[in-house]
Amino acid sequence: MTDTTAASGLTVQQWDDKFFVEHVQGNRFAGEMGTSENSIIQVNEDLGKKAGESITFALVNRLTGSGVENGATLEGNEEDLDSRSYKLTIKERAHAVRSNRWENQISAIDLRKAAKMSLKTWSMENTRDRVIAAMSSVNGVAYGSATETQKDAWLVDNADRVLFGAAKSNNSSNDHSASLANIDGTSDKLTSSAASLMKRIARTANPKIRPVMSEKDTKYYYTVYVPSLVFRDLKADATITAAQRDVSIRMQNEKLFKGGDIEWDGMIFKEIEDIPVISGAGASGIDVAPVFFCGAQALGYGIAERWKSAEELFDYGRKKGCAIMEMGGIEKMTFGSGSTDTADLKDHGIVTGFFAAVADS
């Protein structure tokens, strides 16, 4: 076991309080997290109050009925609220480092404080990676681990909310790999027109994908998470470039918008450099990458115990361990489009697009 020395620092309780605030503020997806059904990543901490290993989220769709007018009888003409549920399972996760007092004596840096900062960084990256993995997942299976059969079955059920490149016709009879192979390095980049197509898909999917209402100006927005190479192509689009001239000033107080984001036509595009590229899957062996067009309740984050630290002494107090831990789960919320909540699963709040991600020359 490798020992590292940590000098004295903040007390555990003080550090935990400060850490949790910084964890939330520094999280790349913090602006989209909230406890209401209006959040892209809906947070539920019910398990912090009671024992259990799963949390059930209620997935609520919009009403589509016409109601009644001019004194017509309302009783008997009510509309069923089209709601489903999603059961999210939590896990415990933790990481730690250990130090000894001699190395603390001879070290030129505050190793204890450095260890805590490294653990904080690890926890933030862990949360980020779990969000990305959840968006990429295929009915709960990590994309990289899913078989072609599983990907095809997912595409069959989600054909109304998946786009391959710039045209719906790139879908080859719901064959996932064949559809990816239709993505061209020139015509299937993410552009303003392709983004508008994703928005139309979100609005015509069955059921529709709900946008999130802004807390500032009561406008509605979709958030689009875009990998770096695809984001590069979007920024080069002339329509997008022209539209950004006044965006920073207009959106500076908008929680969903951060510096470096692109806002256009009710969509906020965020560059996420850690979204993985799918190597060689496109036409002529080009790389492609997923783009996640998100509305309300796209993901669920169930928390039984927030990230917190712990310390422990070993070897007659000569060694000190510093750990960080959480009990929670982040998953893409799905609903059964068949006869039950788990039959023929659809992604509740996400349109998944796949676009060219050709490396810089």
Segments in 6-65 forming alpha helices (H):
12-26
Average of per-residue pLDDT across 259-276? 91
pLDDT in tens, 88-134: 888 999 998 877 766 665 554 455 666 777 888 888 889 999 999 99
Q: Which pLDDT value is given to residue 302?
A: 92
Angle subtended by helix axes 12-26 and 111-136, to nearest 10 = 40
Q: Say how far apart CA 1 and CA 6 lie, in whole Å.
A: 16
Mean pLDDT of the chain: 84
The better pLDDT of the pair 63, 260 is held by 260
Instruction: Name the one residue in this structure whose structure tokens are 């790349």.
Output: 28
Torsions phi, psi for 332 (to 5 deg):
-75, 130
**Structure tokens, 76:** 């008997």
Question: What is the C-alpha separation between 24 and 28, in angstroms, rounded?
Answer: 9
Contact yes or no for 229/272 (Cβ under 8 A): no
- Of the candidate ranges 40-54, 145-159, 200-214, 259-273, the one whose mean pLDDT is the lowest: 40-54
Distance CA 148, CA 337 (A): 21
